[in-house]
Amino acid sequence: MTTHRTLSINKIMSAAVFICAALITSLFVYHLSKKPVQANINAENGVLFSLPRELKPFSLINANGLTFSEKDFYQHWTLLFFGFTHCASICPTTLEMLNRAYGKLHDAHPNLQVVLISLDPERDKPAILAHYVQSFNPAFIGASGKRQDLRKLQSELGIYAMKDTNRTTVNYQLQHTPSILLINPQGKWVGLFNNRMKPSQFVTVVNHGIRLAESSSR
């Protein structure tokens, strides 16, 4: 009886965590959609801000053990994704989509880079993170850092993350915001994209978003 009740409670808690994560992500996108945005991007595919948003200085560590900061966005169009190496589905699916889209995007924008910031610094040490991101594409960049530094950046970018307590302390999962953020070569946040697009559609939407962002900055 006790075991059955415990399992039922665990299932309910797990479902509640998932629903909470999905709800907060939806509210985040809805909130952004109420801000002034560029026209001509389907709201289902993403949001492009009419005014780029300055990022506060931050300091993390990249997968090579070197400092990674807002300055690493300079001179690049950056597709920024938050995840972790033990992620069961969202992260590998998103990174594989980014890998398949990367060639055409890089052909159109040679200064484009893809960055994964880990939300799980306790497990994602630099060597582990480097192996993970490079297993999808050798050009992909990984970074993480101290928990307090990550939280500041998450807060600024609206990135939600919650540990699933229905797992063991070693094998836990994180529910997190799955959006792909777009940072311009001036290091400013200009929009975000849905991670569930097919690679070909993602290429079209990102190229269009970059063109709009470039034209609005002139």
Q: Which residues contact 75 (CB under 8 A, 6 or more apart)?
A: 111, 185
pLDDT averaged over every residue in the chain: 85
Structure tokens at 56: 């506060």
Residue-level pLDDT at 19: 44
pLDDT in tens, 43-66: 789 999 989 999 999 999 999 999
Are residues 140 and 101 in contact, defined by beta-carbon separation less than 8 angstroms? Answer: no
For residue 20, pLDDT over 70 is answered with no
Structure tokens at 215: 């034209």
Please name each of the domains of the chain with its CATH number. Answer: 2-216 (3.40.30.10)
pLDDT in tens, 176-194: 999 999 999 999 999 999 9
